[in-house]
Amino acid sequence: DIGFKQDVPQAQNAFLQDPVLASILERLLPSNVFKEVTPDLVHISDWSISEGSALLKRMEEDQPRLRQYDHWCRRVDELLVTEAWNKQKDIAAREGIVAIAYERKYGQYSRIYQMAKLMLWSVGSGLYSCPIAMTDGCARVIELLGTQEMKDQIFTRLISRDPSTFYTSGQWMTERPGGSDVGRTETQAVWNEEKKVWSISGFKWFSSATDADVTMLLARTHDPRPDLAPGNMKSDSRGLSLYLARVRDDQGKLNGVTIHRLKDKVGTKALPTAELQLSGMEAQQVGEIYRGVRNISSILNITRMHCGINCASVMQSLLLGAKDYARRREVFGALLKDQPLHLATLANMELQYRATCQFLFFCVTLLGRIEALDNNLPEIKNRDMPLLRLLTPILKLWSAKHAFYFSQEAMECYGGQGYMEETGIGRAMRDVLVNTIWEGTSNVLSLDLLRVMTETGGAALQLYSDTIREILKQLKNLPTWIKSVKSLEECLVLIAIRFTSYATLEGRKTLEASA
């Protein structure tokens, strides 16, 4: 056992070692809140690099399986997940990963604390952060639109810190004819007068939370009441309503669901994503009938924020790793950190990471204010709400695209070792890639941005430009190139066109006309 042995890079506590997240929180949170939450953030980051990392390894080695029949040829559809996967659920409850946002102990700052904790937990969660995202979204929809019974029986469990009562939720939208275009949904909901429940039948093409306790889903409503019948005629998204259903009963029996198949995915291997046949799934309707897409959009906007957090978390851990390696790896007579070109690579990554984090926590701050403060306050109604609506699709699109390129750069920073599975960069790269697709592809998000701009007649864009001006005014020592920008609006329209240029020619024309 002779010859050179590379000094091995070490896992680090991300909250303590990364100055970016801590400095953002110090700026956004009141000092007493920052002081109070710091030990918890240090703790969760320690957990992620120790127990979380061990659980993650087991989840990757022992991936979910489906046992469809028992030995008597009876259909059982048993989803087999590792003990490590179930343990992640308990940890998520105990650590209050969803609860913190809804307990609102720190009012508008609770969201910031929750999302920061989620970011640090995310790397150790082995994508249990996916069901948690949907659980968070479901909790928000019930909080906004649920009946008292839903609040008492489901919401309290979604935000529980007790693993024995904690529920997770799925979000079943995508069907074979359309994932982006959910107006093509085939699934039907028919009122069962005898049982006083909705009976749902159809086929859900992607379910990432097949082991969830409850789910929110879209279905085409067939309402027998004559005054509501016109909705039945609609073959597009205006015929859809939102439903809430238990996935299994108290004995663990599936509620009218058969698991058709588990997906064989490029990444997110630990996550049990399945194709589901629904045959008379019993459900309750949520919010106004025939407003399914509008009603489920609160989930979309929360889960899109979770995608941003997932991307920032991957960038944070990969950057810390690449910087650590640069302090240990010597090439051509100097450590990597002292090679100017490598330093420039790291600096570019650092810039992308910082931009993502700043943008992300700007949006999280808006979300926290909207959730905790009176929505009739002019600054919430006229500024925070339209601004967040405008920025959420951009955040999701931006962070997903950049996190993937970023992970490739991080892989290259380790040279050949980066391409080895043992470093975990390959897995991170495969996993982070999904953020460009789930919860809306880049083109669909571009069109969503266009939808906001069109719906507000350009007011949202104006608000955005005013906000940027406000921020620029507060900054000292502005670089001269920023001062020399001729017209800020011009730049913003160009950025908007960049985001929507994938979309439609029509969209471009609208924007160019408004410019």
Binding site for ligand MFK (CB under 6 A): 129-130, 133-134, 171, 173-174, 180, 182-183, 208, 237, 293-294, 297, 300-301, 303, 306-307, 310, 438-440, 444, 448, 451
Record the tokens describing residue 325, joined without a space: 């390696």
CA distances from residue 221 to 187, 206, 229, 312 in whole angstroms, order as listed: 9, 21, 9, 39
The SS3 assignment for 391 reads helix
Binding partner of residue 48 among ligand MFK, ligand FAD, none, CB cut-off 5 to 8 Å per kind: none
> What DSSP string describes 333-381?
TEEGGGSHHHHHHHHHHHHHHHHHHHHHHHHHHHHHHHHHS-TTSHIII
Binding partner of residue 310 among ligand MFK, ligand FAD, none, CB cut-off 5 to 8 Å per kind: ligand MFK
Min CB(137)–ligand FAD separation in Å: 11
Paired sense of beta strands 75-80 and 240-246, if any: unpaired
Of 171 and 423, CB closest to ligand FAD = 171
Binding partner of residue 273 among ligand FAD, ligand MFK, none, CB cut-off 5 to 8 Å per kind: ligand FAD
Min CB(433)–ligand FAD separation in Å: 9
Binding partner of residue 301 among ligand MFK, ligand FAD, none, CB cut-off 5 to 8 Å per kind: ligand MFK
CB closest to ligand MFK, residue no:
237
**Residues 400 and 309 sit within 8 Å (Cβ to Cβ):** no
**Residues 347 and 413 sit within 8 Å (Cβ to Cβ):** no
242: left (phi over 0), alpha (psi -120 to 50) or beta: beta
Of 116 and 346, CB closest to ligand MFK = 116
Binding partner of residue 101 among ligand FAD, ligand MFK, none, CB cut-off 5 to 8 Å per kind: none
Rg (CA), the chain: 24
The SS3 assignment for 177 reads coil
Of 9 and 137, CB closest to ligand MFK = 137
Binding partner of residue 90 among ligand FAD, ligand MFK, none, CB cut-off 5 to 8 Å per kind: none
**Residues 187 and 154 sit within 8 Å (Cβ to Cβ):** no
Min CB(380)–ligand MFK separation in Å: 16
Q: Of 318, 309, 328, give the one whose Cα is nearest residue 399.
A: 309
Binding partner of residue 303 among ligand MFK, ligand FAD, none, CB cut-off 5 to 8 Å per kind: ligand MFK
Min CB(189)–ligand MFK separation in Å: 17
Min CB(194)–ligand MFK separation in Å: 32
Helix (H) or strand (E) holding 200: strand 197-207
Binding partner of residue 345 among ligand FAD, ligand MFK, none, CB cut-off 5 to 8 Å per kind: none
Binding partner of residue 268 among ligand MFK, ligand FAD, none, CB cut-off 5 to 8 Å per kind: ligand FAD
Min CB(309)–ligand FAD separation in Å: 17
Min CB(58)–ligand FAD separation in Å: 20
d(CA 7, CA 13): 19
d(CA 461, CA 453): 7
d(CA 142, CA 138): 6
Min CB(131)–ligand FAD separation in Å: 9
Of 346 and 503, CB closest to ligand MFK = 503
Q: Dihedral sign, CA of 492, 457, 242, 75?
A: negative
State the amino acid at position 260 in one-letter form: H
Of 125 and 273, CB closest to ligand FAD = 273
CB atoms within 10 A of CB 148: 8
Binding partner of residue 443 among ligand FAD, ligand MFK, none, CB cut-off 5 to 8 Å per kind: ligand FAD
**Residues 147 and 70 sit within 8 Å (Cβ to Cβ):** no
265: left (phi over 0), alpha (psi -120 to 50) or beta: beta
Of 299 and 410, CB closest to ligand FAD = 299
The gap from C-alpha 9 to its chain's centroid, in whole angstroms, comes to 29
Min CB(378)–ligand MFK separation in Å: 21
Of 118 and 320, CB closest to ligand MFK = 118
Binding partner of residue 265 among ligand FAD, ligand MFK, none, CB cut-off 5 to 8 Å per kind: ligand FAD
CB closest to ligand FAD, residue no:
179
Q: Which residues bind ligand FAD (CB under 6 A)?
A: 171-174, 178-181, 206-208, 265, 268, 273, 434, 437-438, 440-441, 443-444, 447, 503
Min CB(443)–ligand FAD separation in Å: 4
Of 140 and 306, CB closest to ligand MFK = 306
Of 136 and 324, CB closest to ligand FAD = 136
Of 9 and 239, CB closest to ligand MFK = 239
Binding partner of residue 162 among ligand FAD, ligand MFK, none, CB cut-off 5 to 8 Å per kind: none
The SS3 assignment for 325 reads helix
**DSSP structural state of residue 7:** P
Min CB(407)–ligand FAD separation in Å: 17
Q: End-to-end distance of the chain based on CA atoms, in angstroms?
A: 68
- Within the chain, how many helices (H) and strands (E) appear? 21, 11
The gap from C-alpha 393 to its chain's centroid, in whole angstroms, comes to 12
Min CB(180)–ligand FAD separation in Å: 3
CA distances from residue 410 to 317, 326, 345, 413 in whole angstroms, order as listed: 10, 11, 9, 5
Record the tokens describing residue 100, joined without a space: 């913190």
